[in-house]
Amino acid sequence: MSIAFLDPGNLEGDLQAGAIAGYSLLWLLMWATAMGLLIQLLSARIGVATGRHLAELCREEYPYWAGIVLWFMAEVALIGADIQEVIGSAIAIQILSRGLLPLWGFYGSKQADSIGLVNAGQYLEEKYGGGLFPILYIWGIGLLAAGQSSTITGTYAGQFIMGGFLNLRLKKSVRALITRSCAIIPTIVVALVFNKSESSLDVLNEWLNVLQSIQIPFALIPLLTLVSKEQVMGVFKVGPTLERAAWTVAGLVIVINGYLLLHFFLSEVNGLLFGFLVSAGTAAYVAFIVYLISHRNSELSNWLSQFVPKSFSYSGN
């Protein structure tokens, strides 16, 4: 999670926010960092107390069908993050090579620099000059390090996600090949699809940011549910004050993201068929979030589970 603060996608988002709002949102950055620290502490707490990671605990806590949905959402989020890491690394290599190694040689289109990461390096060089240590190269090295560290973290996360949710019992080399292929192959496909249109990568980057926002509840809600459950945490269960604070943070994040997603979809979605598909997907998305939250209440969760076929259970697989 610490590495995620410095991945190329977040750096690009920070640049856009700074370019538009200047320093007026620094108070929001402070509180967002504090909220992120709280979630990090809870994640560390559940790992130390149980000796297992979140994917394993979710497999044991939720029904089979819910675990599969959580795995799919986590895998989609990982694929989106990998694509942004590839874009950031490609831009960094282009900066460091002064264009000798073109961007399309690593991703798909020279227009990838329109994301803003290359423009930021050029702006820094114009403002602070070259000097003994050219600022452009410092920016390029930092951007490359951010992309590579995020990629390494994503490699571990991908193996934990697939191995934990699906309980894969394979050799480590085979498991690593399968889990990384699930993220790398879609990245290659995207590189081939988005290599012709000049504006397509901007649209892709916008949708990737939307994708990351959509996936947040599917990691946040299970974490808060498990860390406040005595059967899982034992004496390390969080107290009522910390539990209320954590759920307040989660509620704020979900509501704010929901508002921004609604605004984005209203401005981007056109056509009756596309609007119907988005509405149906949104209804299913909200219903699953309600189910995850209701899982804290066993009676309500059992009532909702009646609408799912009994064959979708871990005992039957």
**pTM score:** 0.72
Q: What is the pLDDT of residues 197-221, one digit of tens each?
A: 545 655 666 677 777 778 888 988 9
Read off the pLDDT band of 61 (50, 70, 90): confident
Q: Which two tokens stand for residue 25?
A: 């949102």
Q: How far apart are CA 160 and CA 174, in angstroms?
A: 14
Rounded to 5°, angle at Cα 267 from 261 and 273: 90
Residue 111: pLDDT above 70? no
Give CA separation, 46 vs 38, 54, 162, 163, 302, in Å. Answer: 13, 8, 19, 18, 25
Given this model, what pLDDT does residue 315 score?
43
Given this model, what pLDDT does residue 15 score?
66
Q: Which two tokens stand for residue 236?
A: 């390390």
Q: Rounded mean pLDDT of the chain?
A: 72
Residue 51: pLDDT above 80? yes
143 within 8 A of 64, measured Cβ to Cβ = no
